[in-house]
């Protein structure tokens, strides 16, 4: 008799993680590989996914032939439309079955153990997502240019803008503004040159400085954190308005943002039950239970 196994993949722009579990959910092995954001191309994404999967298989002390009776679930960043999803599902793979969705979907499945619920991710970017009776609803998360409010990159960019305004006397003096302008050798021109190639992650790197200066009472920094908290509140309330009563906030920036959130949204916030890999495994399990070899 063949023992069935389940593989979860959490593929993002920074790295790809894999977790292999048995039918009881016992973790057999985990693995990690490079970025598997689908915007990098399906070949690249699939290559890193398989690397991470093989690493998990190795750690479990199992042979690659295990995959012929392993049901896989991929939660992938950069999967905005059905086109990429179909190309992934039709890509030759070694698994018994394959289910694919966005990383937000698997994170939400993991956070609420498959029940109705919502998440808001506050990382370098931001994004809200709700699952209601199995259906996903997206809120925000349209990227740094137009969206990603209350994210680390959003706070960092507004801090650089405000630092320049303070430097020019448009806003009052501020220790945060002085810190930031010192990084640019107190030259607005240097800030402008830096901004020409700055990526969201570069702006995100400035956010901890804002948090720290806000904690020590700088008015500009406090104001930026209060604005971020207001935007975060709007995002959380918009996810709730999709019809979910419980929302888990995820992402590296949330721990900084959390103390600034208003009490009125406390009743909505819960701790995540599981991580995105748990969600990806749950998706694989559901697909297998429904008898879909490719979902």
User: Tokens at residue 107, please?
Assistant: 């994170």
Residues that bind a copy of itself (CB under 8 A): 80-81, 128, 138-140, 142-143, 145-147, 149, 160-161, 164-165, 168-171, 188-189, 191-192, 195-196, 234-235, 238, 241-242
Could you tell me the sign of the dihedral formed by the alpha carbons of 175, 176, 177, 179, in that order? positive
Alpha-carbon gap, residue 280 to 7, rounded angstroms: 8
Residue 238: CB minimum distance to a copy of itself, A: 4
Spatial contact of 144 and 153, defined as CB atoms under 8 Å apart: yes
Give the C-alpha separation, 232 to 278, whole Å: 25
Q: Tell me the C-alpha distance between 119 and 247, whole Å.
A: 5
User: Which residue has tokens 């190309």?
Assistant: 87
Rounded to whole angstroms, how far apart are CA atoms 204 and 252? Answer: 10
Cα pseudo-dihedral 117, 121, 127, 128, rounded to 10:
20
80 vs 101, 105, 107, 116, CA distance in Å? 9, 11, 15, 22
Q: Helix (H, G, I), strand (E, B), or coil: what is residue 143? A: coil
User: What does the block give as tokens for 54?
Assistant: 């093989």
Q: CB of residue 155 vs a copy of itself: minimum separation in angstroms?
A: 15
Q: For 248, phi and psi rounded to 5 degrees?
A: -100, 130
Identify the DSSP state of 219. H
**Strand (E) or helix (H) holding 202:** helix 200-204
- Paired residues of 250 in beta bridges: 121
């Amino acid at each position: 008799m063949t023992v069935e196994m389940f593989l979860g993949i959490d593929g993002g722009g920074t790295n790809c993680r894999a977790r292999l579990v048995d039918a009881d959910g016992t973790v057999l092995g985990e693995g990690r590989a490079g970025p598997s954001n689908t915007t990098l191309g399906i070949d690249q994404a699939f290559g890193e996914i398989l690397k991470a999967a093989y690493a998990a298989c190795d750690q479990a002390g199992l042979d690659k032939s295990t995959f012929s009776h392993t049901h896989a679930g991929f939660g992938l960043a950069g999967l905005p439309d059905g086109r990429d999803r179909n190309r992934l599902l039709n890509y030759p793979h070694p698994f018994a079955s394959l289910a694919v969705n966005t990383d937000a979907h698997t994170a939400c499945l993991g956070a609420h153990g498959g029940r109705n619920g919502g998440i808001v991710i506050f990382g370098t970017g931001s994004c809200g997502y709700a699952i209601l009776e199995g259906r996903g609803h997206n809120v925000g998360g349209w990227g740094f240019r137009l969206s990603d409010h209350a994210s680390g990159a959003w706070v960092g960019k507004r801090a650089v803008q405000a630092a320049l305004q303070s430097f020019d006397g448009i806003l009052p003096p501020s220790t945060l503004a002085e810190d930031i302008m010192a990084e640019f050798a107190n030259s607005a021109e240097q800030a402008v040159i830096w901004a020409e190639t700055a990526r969201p992650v570069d702006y995100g790197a400035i956010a901890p400085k804002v948090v720290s200066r806000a904690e020590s009472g700088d008015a500009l920094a406090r104001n930026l954190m209060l604005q971020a908290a207001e935007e975060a509140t709007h995002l959380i309330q918009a996810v709730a308005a999709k019809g979910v009563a419980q929302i888990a906030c995820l992402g590296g920036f949330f721990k900084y943002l959390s103390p600034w959130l208003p009490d009125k949204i406390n009743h909505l916030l819960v701790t995540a039950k599981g991580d995105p890999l748990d969600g990806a495994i749950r998706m694989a399990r559901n697909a297998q239970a429904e008898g879909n070899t490719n979902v």
